[in-house]
Amino acid sequence: MIKRHSDLVLAITAHDPDTIENDLNTAVEMAREQARAENRHGILVTQHSYTSYTVAVSRDVPYGQTHERREQTA
């Protein structure tokens, strides 16, 4: 499931690998369209757990790039 938090942040929650992959690809494309419209910022994909991710247009990522990171759990 993709949940839009804003034009800049999309949350993905899924429990099977195929759905995760499809939803992540869709969310990255949606974020890429937003970044292109603004002609700035890149895409940051963050894994929060095995079933939870966010995809965001981020000013910390150079325009035209997509970075991935894994959130550290305590």
28-37 pLDDT, tens per residue? 999 999 999 8
pLDDT at 6 over 70: no
pLDDT of residue 47: 96
pLDDT of residue 48: 96
How confident is residue 7, by pLDDT bands cut at 50, 70 and 90? Answer: low
**Which residues are 11's β-sheet partners?**
3, 54
Q: pLDDT per residue over 22-66, tens digit each? A: 999 999 999 999 999 888 899 999 999 999 999 999 999 999 999
**Which residues are 13's β-sheet partners?**
52
**2 within 8 A of 19, measured Cβ to Cβ:** no
User: Residue 46's domain spans which residues?
Assistant: 2-70
The 3-state secondary structure of the chain reads CEEECCCCEEEEECCCHHHHHHHHHHHHHHHHHHHHHHCCCEEEEEECCCCEEEEEEECCCCCCCEEEEECCCC
- Total domain count, the chain: 1
pTM, full prediction: 0.86
